[in-house]
Amino acid sequence: MSEKLLKAREYETKQEQLIREEQRPLFHLTPKCGWTNDPNGFSVYHGEYHLFYQYYPYDTVWGSMHWGHAVSRDLMTWEYRPVAMAPDEEYDSFGCFSGSAVETDDGRQLLIYTGVCKKEDEDGVVREYQTQCVAVGDGTDYEKYAGNPVITMKDLPEGAGPYDFRDPKVWKEDGRYYMAVGNKTPDKDGQILKYVSDDGYKWTFDRILTRNEHRYGLMWECPDYFELDGKQILLTSPQDMLPEDLEFHNGNGTLCVIGTEDADGNFSGEKYHSVDYGIDFYAPQTVLAEDGRRIMIGWMQNWDTCGHKRDDMPWFGQMSFPREIHLRNDRLIQKPVREIENYYGSTVSREDVSLSGSTQLPGIKGRCMDMTVRVRPKGTEGSYDVFAIRFADNGKNFSTIEYDPARNIVKIDRKHSGSRRALVHQRRCRVSDLSGRITLRLILDRYSMELFINEGEHVMSMVVLTDVSADGISFEASGELLMDVEMHELVRG
């Protein structure tokens, strides 16, 4: 084991002990210590879910990337494994960037990642070089392949950009290995390249899967490519986006491309929409569970919101709640994984609550819950103008979800959550017109809120850093409406 990896393992072992359990979310995975960004290597290996993550153990800011590692049997309870990789080779000395994992034919676990190093070119400019590398292991310890890097600039097709070339997502099909990887052309257009291999080590360029054509941002990071309910899906995270109505916003976004793959393996995109309409979600990755479900997890953070943090927190960055995904009416539908039900504590249910003005309901409060609120007009359509839920409320700090039934807009807002930074604190999303009816399912964990609207048709995620003692919840209507509320407290056994 390299000195760098050993040092990181020793450091995180000591540091982890200094973090009390209640300083972390109840279910959302945080780094063992320090910083995390993208989920990596989300896979099933020997009957367990493995989730690696972009990791800088030594501070709560981005640094030279390691791969942190955790395993789970049910996606709800994660157990840390020792840091899997450190940037300890010349070709990855600037960091082991994002990648994925797959089981090899001989039962080992292959990690495929982007090795980044900095080199001074002949013109005197120091540039970042990104190549694809592999490491193989037993689920705990990994050895980098002596033949690394396995894909370099030399393997790029004509017209590809030499510098932005990263985030390989690997899968196995008909006994062969395939990889989708992000690239940016010299004229700043994102594209996804596909490579193929017989053994996971020796790769050849296959084709350009798809090009952005200068539509959605510039570089396309962290691709994932899979079949879902009879269609072919590409997920990617574009950088430097421009806004489009309420569908896409400025900065780093997420994009779901729904399309088809023809018999020759050519992909054509048909529908394009955001994956998550909230503030904090990026770089999602999926896994095919053994029972056939496609499960997605993302970084519940965004590069543009990293300044939203608390100095007293010993970690930075958390993963989203794992979501089962499907297609319905040309949209990606997301639901919290059903395993959540095994962690329900007490339940409070109220039906046909008539709401006008603001109210609290007995027994409905807390910061860790799975709560579904169904709202409908009382009497005639147009009986109310705004419906709102206030949560993480202590009288002074609070966050809100607001629904405007005339415009069909849901807004999430954490402006009053205690943040002292001028960052994005609100976001709006256009939802289906159901004549004033809406279903809002909130997953609250200690430091986050994920909102699943109308059975997962739209999802809005945001980090909420208000102290956990702020546990008030209230409902508000201008006008009159009826609502049903079902709240399950979330608990650890």
Q: Residues in the site for ligand FRU, rule: CB under 6 A?
A: 37-38, 54, 65, 97-98, 114, 166-167, 221-222, 282-283
Locate tokens 């319905």: which residue?
328
> Phi first, then psi: what are they for 372, rounded to 5°?
-110, 130
Q: Specify the residue, 169 or 376, whose C-beta has the smaller distance to ligand FRU.
A: 169
Q: How far is the CB of 327 from ligand FRU (least distance, A)?
A: 25
3 state SS of 296? strand
Q: Which of 314, 319, 470 shows the shortest CA–CA distance to 395?
A: 470
How far apart CA 73 and CA 78 sit, in angstroms, is: 8
Residue nearest to ligand FRU (CB): 97
3 state SS of 141? coil
Q: Which residues contact 327 (CB under 8 A, 6 or more apart)?
A: 228, 229, 230, 231, 233, 258, 333
Q: Specify the residue, 54 or 417, whose C-beta has the smaller distance to ligand FRU.
A: 54
Q: Specify the residue, 179 or 392, whose C-beta has the smaller distance to ligand FRU.
A: 179
Contact 191, 220 (CB under 8 A): yes
DSSP code at position 4:
H
Q: How far is the CB of 98 from ligand FRU (least distance, A)?
A: 3
How far apart CA 397 and CA 289 sit, in angstroms, is: 40
3 state SS of 104? coil
Q: Specify the residue, 134 or 222, whose C-beta has the smaller distance to ligand FRU.
A: 222
Dihedral over alpha carbons 199, 204, 209, 211 (to 10 degrees): 140
Q: Specify the residue, 113 or 391, whose C-beta has the smaller distance to ligand FRU.
A: 113
Cα end-to-end span (Å), the chain: 37
Q: How far is the CB of 77 from ligand FRU (least distance, A)?
A: 26
How far apart CA 393 and CA 370 sit, in angstroms, is: 17
How far apart CA 392 and CA 164 sit, in angstroms, is: 40
Residue 471 annotated as catalytic: no
Q: Specify the residue, 62 or 344, whose C-beta has the smaller distance to ligand FRU.
A: 62
Contact 416, 391 (CB under 8 A): no
Q: Specify the residue, 97 or 315, whose C-beta has the smaller distance to ligand FRU.
A: 97
Contact 353, 362 (CB under 8 A): no
In the chain, what are the helix, strand and coil shares in percent, each to the nearest 5?
5, 55, 40
DSSP code at position 5:
H
Q: How far is the CB of 476 from ligand FRU (least distance, A)?
A: 37
Supply the residues annotated as catalytic: 38
